[in-house]
Amino acid sequence: MNLINKDILGIEPLSREEIEGILDTAVSFKEVSTRQIKKVPTLRGRTIINLFFEASTRTRTSFEIAGKRLSADVINISASTSSAVKGESLLDTAYNLEAMNPDLLIVRHGVSGAPHMIAKHIKCPVINAGDGAHEHPTQALLDLLTIREHSKQLAGLKVAIVGDIAHSRVARSNIHAMLKCGMEVTVVGPPTMIPVGIECLGVKVLHNLEEAVAQVDVVMMLRIQLERQNEGLFPSFREYSNLFCLTADKLKNSRKDILIMHPGPVNRGIEIALDVMEGPHSVILDQVNNGVALRMALMYLLLGGGSETDH
């Protein structure tokens, strides 16, 4: 299994074969995290920098743990502690980090395309850990890994992605990934949160959650960012919850084995009800668990693993 590009900037440039290869590799890494001594020497002596310009718990920690379990040295930089606060430009920050010879740069940035600009200017591989409303490729890959664990085969599955599609990089990466793997995708939300031309990507659009969940094998709820109400995208949280909160009642006509996903962080009671989130159909924590193995796999594939491939 070889990746074509030096970077993982999005799902859109990946082929179905690459996606499946990454998932297969991730499966083989899962076992490492179940050992008592959760460490293999694969990336010993390699340096990985987590460069995060946006807040993150899950993704940053997941990358850090993945790197450490592969024995790489992992350095974390967040915007508030970087020279960005002194007015250093994004590119200068990247050049300076590159000058210290890292082997991998993991970038999260609030603006779409920012990791792409960095990747264009520096030689070391870049993984996009989320850029604006554009892509979040590792999230989509770990989501597919989670779905595949429960459904054996991805092709033919029907998925509903629910919430603020317009501002969601998770939605975009999942749409690309799922369509490439032969799944059917419906996006669901109020029209103010469905971006112009989304159907050109090959997805269906629905505005009724109950109707949508009755048709699908997987429902993926997205986080509603609290500031969106101020932008007037919906009238109130009460109204949003009435229409789009995934509750047991809205699931009454759904398949008995439906999978319920959420990339986190969750606004409990706004987009998903507490009992649903903690109920038998929820695979939310499986997603988080799979994130580590998936990111280990990507690091291994991008950095080649050196001569020590024993894990």
User: Interface with other proteins includes 187 (CB under 8 A)?
Assistant: no
Q: How far apart are CA 260 and CA 219, in angstroms?
A: 5
86-105 footprint of other proteins as x/- string (CB under 8 A): ---xxx--------------
3-state helix, strand, coil in the chain (%, to 5): 40, 15, 40
Complex with other proteins: residue 47 or 186, whichever CB lies closer: 186
Does residue 201 touch other proteins according to CB under 8 A? yes
User: Would you say 23 and 145 are in contact if contact means Cβ atoms under 8 Å apart?
Assistant: yes
Q: Which stretch binds other proteins (CB under 8 A): 98-106, 128-136, 281-289, 292-300?
A: 128-136
Give per-residue burial for 1-31: e unless 16+ CB within 10 Å, then b.
eebeeebbbbbeebeeebbbbbbebbeebbe
- Residue 157 class from Cβ within 10 Å (0-12 exposed, 13-18 middle, 19+ buried)? buried
126 binds other proteins (CB under 8 A): no
- Binding residues with other proteins: total (CB under 8 A): 25
- Which residue, 138 or 289, has its beta carbon nearer to other proteins? 138
Residue 129 sits at φ, ψ, to 5 deg, of: -100, 25
Q: Which is nearer to other proteins, 51 or 90 (CB)?
A: 90
Closer to other proteins by Cβ: residue 32 or 51:
51
- Give CA–CA dist 140/145, Å, rounded: 9
59 tagged catalytic:
yes
140-179 residues near other proteins, rule: CB under 8 A? 166, 169, 172
Q: Which pair of structure tokens corresponds to residue 98?
A: 């590159």
What residues act catalytically?
58-59, 86, 108, 136
Residues that bind other proteins (CB under 8 A): 12, 89-91, 109, 111-114, 116-117, 131-135, 166, 169, 172, 195-198, 200-201
